[in-house]
Amino acid sequence: MFNQHCIRPYITKAGGSTCMCKRHPQRPLSLSLSLFCLSSGRISREKKLENLILLISKSMESAKERDTFVYLAKLSEQAERYEEMVESMKNLAKLNVDLTVEERNLLSVGYKNVIGSRRASWRIFSSIEQKEAVKGNDVNVKRIKDYMEKVELELTSICIDIMSVLDEHLIPSASEGESTVFFNKMKGDYYRYLAEFKSGDERKEAADQSLKAYEIATTSAEAKLPPTHPIRLGLALNFSVFYYEIMNSPERACHLAKQAFDEAISELDSLNEESYKDSTLILQLLRDNLTLWTSDIPEEGDDAYKTNGSAKQGAGGDDAE
């Protein structure tokens, strides 16, 4: 400590203070500094502990929220309130977590039902419009087109909505092969739905984005999933439907579907019991589509991409939505 009567402190080279009086020769005045360091260390440890507790608390809160969203989604599904089911799963997606198989399926089912009814409505209107046009009922054609525009706005809104959730939350948070394939396949599907009713440059853009997403999903699927995996088979099924309906290329559609079918059949013995039902169902759909599409392949083959035409109405195959 300083001599109370000493007023000549001395600063050492090391930066410590000493008293120059004879009673306290070269005694560093570091006690307060030591106390400060000890205090800082204690504060630092307390702060780390506080942060850890906060992190655990947030994690528990997040897990509780997650369980709540899943439960609400299941309730909504049982009540067939699919818009609310979608909202619950969107809230879950915003937690930026890698979804479980169950959560992925809830998300998919919710959006499938929300958009499925509108896709069905649009196809019905399109069919009626064509019949009215043949009859020359221009007034009715105009009425139908006005109604179709309303449905198209709803379809566009749904597709933009799921695309935002996929790009901002689900795809960045996907940590395994299954999730990456699933969400990029889903992205390809919803761009395909846009391409079904868009025209001109908008249709071409939707088709290009759909193709890109399907290709990313396919690359990941071939690297990380076996040929018999239901997600890989579902991707091949939907990608082949894309080639047939959107790109107007039955030859490419058949090639993709047949390749996926043959590869899966060759490894059917290794198919696990858990996914057997799903995989065999998709294999049946692939075979049905191949039977339907084969008659559309020209003798010379047609490799051209026709992205400016309209989607085939009523001629497409089943997909694995």
pLDDT in tens, 110-164: 999 999 999 999 999 999 999 999 999 999 999 999 999 999 999 999 999 999 9
Within a domain: residue 292? yes
CA–CA separation, 229 vs 182, rounded Å? 11
CA–CA separation, 217 vs 230, rounded Å? 13
Within a domain: residue 129? no
pLDDT digits 0-9 by tens, 75-124 = 999 999 999 999 999 999 999 999 999 999 999 999 999 999 999 999 99
HSE-CB at 183 with a 13 A cutoff on CA atoms is 25
- DSSP structure string for 294-309: HTTS-TT------TTS
CA–CA separation, 109 vs 74, rounded Å? 10
Dig out the tokens for 250 from the structure.
């039955």
Within a domain: residue 314? yes
Q: Name the average pLDDT for the chain.
A: 84
Conformational region of residue 248, where left means phi above 0, alpha means psi within -120 to 50, and beta covers everything else = left
pLDDT at 264: 95
Residue 148: partners with Cβ closer than 8 Å, 6 or more residues away = 122, 125, 126, 129, 197
Within a domain: residue 211? yes
Question: The domain containing residue 266 runs over which residues?
Answer: 196-321
pLDDT at 295: 84
Within a domain: residue 170? no
pLDDT at 59: 54
CATH number of the domain that residue 266 is part of: 1.20.190.20
Within a domain: residue 264? yes
pLDDT at residue 306 above 60? no
Dig out the tokens for 156 from the structure.
């566009």
In order of 142, 267, 280, the CA distances from 147 in angstroms are: 9, 48, 39
Within a domain: residue 206? yes
pLDDT digits 0-9 by tens, 25-80 = 554 545 454 545 555 566 677 666 556 655 554 555 678 899 999 999 999 999 99
CA–CA separation, 93 vs 66, rounded Å? 9
Within a domain: residue 257? yes
| Number of domains the chain is built from | 1
Can you tell me which residue has the tokens 């695309």?
Answer: 163
> pTM for the full model?
0.77
Helices marked H in the chain = 31-78, 82-93, 101-135, 138-165, 171-173, 177-197, 200-224, 230-241, 250-266, 276-294
pLDDT at 63: 81
